[in-house]
Structure 1
Amino acid sequence: MPTPKPVPGAILPPVSVPRLGGGEIVIGGTRENWVLVVVYRGRHCPRCKRYLSKLNDMRQRWRDAGFDIAVVSADPEEKARADRDTFGWSFDIGHDLSEAQMATLGLYVSDPLAETETDRRFAEPGVFVIRPDGSLLLVAISNGPSARPDLEELLDGMIYTRENDRPPRGTA
């Protein structure tokens, strides 16, 4: 039986992954700020690099709006570090997301199409917005690399949602 997908408004069980530079990234649980979590496919995905580079360019706007940013993948530490160093990303990057954690987040999982792509199963894209109380405001998961929320529209919508204390939608 498949693991149920996360439901907007529900409390997300905490998921911890190692963070580049030490420590860990905890997705879920209570915290001071809202959190934007982006799950990317990994080093093999050129669309991910473009998406994350745009996010990196917008990171101060997200912070000014009261959001922390966390980016995670199933890649091992050395691949995540290589991407960060190559592209100059300055948000927190987590690595080694396990298949059990992918299931907890409700992500689609794919097998590599070739050894040149990657050497392990990986998560397809997911974008989550989590309120400070640990509840999910937004769940956007995709089964492929081409469908992800537009970051400009998402930021605009999240600013409106925070300022107007809008509830999560799609809870039924």
Structure 2
Amino acid sequence: MPMSLKSRVTVPNLDLPLAGGGRFNLAEQKPAAFTMLVVYRGLHCPICKGYLNDLNRKMSDFEQAGVIAVAATSDNAERAEKAKLDWKLDRLPLAYDL
């Protein structure tokens, strides 16, 4: 049976490696407003590339609004690192192995 998420209720923890090093641990986030987790299909998806490039350009706007933004994929480390480099995502953290 699928789990439903509800507003203002603690979500299950999510702990994933990040392209470029480090980890993203949802339970450890302390945003001023909220944490935005964007799930994308992977390196093969040109629509995802455009969307994540747009998010990358807007990271300072999110930060000013108190939003922590992270993108996550089921891709492996190699593909996530390639997406980060090829797509020039220098501000948006990319988590992988979802």
TM-score, scaled relative to structure 1 = 0.52
SS in structure 1 at match of 2:42: coil
* 1:31 and 2:29 are equivalent in the alignment: yes
**Aligned twin of 2:21:** 22
For 1:40 and 1:31, locate their aligned partners in 2 and report how far apart those are by CA, in whole Å. 20
For 1:75 and 1:10, locate their aligned partners in 2 and report how far apart those are by CA, in whole Å. 28
For 2:17 and 2:86, locate their aligned partners in 1 and report how far apart those are by CA, in whole Å. 20
Query: By how many angstroms is 1:51 displaced?
Result: 0.7
For 2:50 and 2:4, locate their aligned partners in 1 and report how far apart those are by CA, in whole Å. 27
Q: CA RMSD in A?
A: 1.3
Correspondences of 1:1-172 after superposition (within 5 Å): 2-27=1-26, 29=27, 31-33=29-31, 34-89=34-89, 90-97=91-98
Letter in 2 for 1:42: G
For 1:77 and 1:20, locate their aligned partners in 2 and report how far apart those are by CA, in whole Å. 7
> Could you report, residue by residue, the CA deviation over 1:6-33 in whole angstroms, capped at 9, with x for unpaired residues?
2222210111111112221112x25321
**Higher radius of gyration, 1 or 2:** 1
SS in structure 2 at match of 1:38: strand
Change in CA separation of 1:30 and 1:96 when aligned onto 2, cut-off 3 Å = closer
TM-score, scaled relative to structure 2 = 0.87
Corresponding pairs, count: 95
For 2:4 and 2:41, locate their aligned partners in 1 and report how far apart those are by CA, in whole Å. 18
Q: Which runs of 5+ in 2 are unaligned?
A: none
Q: Which runs of 5+ in 1 are unaligned?
A: 98-172
Task: Give the conservation status (yes or no) of the 8 Å contact 2:19–2:84.
Answer: no
> Could you report, residue by residue, the CA deviation over 1:44-81 in whole angstroms, capped at 9, with x for unpaired residues?
11111111111011111111111111111000011111
For 1:9 and 1:32, locate their aligned partners in 2 and report how far apart those are by CA, in whole Å. 14
